Amino acid sequence: MVLENQKVLVWDPFVRVFHWSLVLFYLVAWVSAEEWASLHERAGYFILVLLGLRIVWGVIGTQHARFRDFVYGGTVTVGYLRSLRAGTPRHYLGHNPAGGWMVIALLLSLAVAGVSGILIGDAEHGVWKEIHEGSANMTLLLVVVHVSGVVLASLIHGENLVRAMLTGHKMRRSEDV
């Protein structure tokens, strides 16, 4: 039996620590990019370690941390985006289909930025530097869309998703997916 308005732990401690560490090291990487190479490189390596752990956790982790919980097919995702445009999106306990693809895009973009950063080596110019800067800018764009999506979804559903990523808890609703 599914109880309405029941408080449930959606984001386990690993997901929460992963998220806020990622935010911190992403910020450090941006701020140090131009003038503090050693800190920038350390932040980049740390982000890659976080990504590696998150990928493993996406396979063996708790229910809503798993990729199979939030990576939806094209039909469901397009249907969700249409319902969002109509102002009637369904409420998901974990990531919604659009949010799920945003998670994948963020992880990929960060991975490309991290790996290409390592491959630059001592070169001043070159293809890896181009890829590194391109993916870093792409990640920034994704982050802006990500945070806007979080604010929009919080407003539409009348829930505080940022607090949920801090405490791990959300309220289950009877219509939840």
Task: Note the residues at the interface with ligand HEM (CB under 6 A).
Answer: 15, 18-19, 22-23, 26, 54, 65, 95, 99, 103, 106-107, 110, 143, 146-147, 150, 161-162, 164-165
Q: How far is Cα 34 from Cα 19, in angstroms, rounded to an integer? A: 24
Q: Which is nearer to ligand HEM, 27 or 123 (CB)?
A: 27
- Nearest residue to 102 (alpha-carbon basis) of 114, 93, 94: 94
Least separation, in Å, of the C-beta of 96 and ligand HEM?
Answer: 6
Q: How far is Cα 65 from Cα 58, in angstroms, rounded to an integer? A: 6
Q: Residue 113: which region, alpha, beta or left (left: phi > 0; alpha: psi -120 to 50)?
A: alpha
Three-state DSSP at 6 gives strand
Least separation, in Å, of the C-beta of 61 and ligand HEM?
Answer: 9
Least separation, in Å, of the C-beta of 123 and ligand HEM?
Answer: 25
Q: Which is nearer to ligand HEM, 111 or 143 (CB)?
A: 143
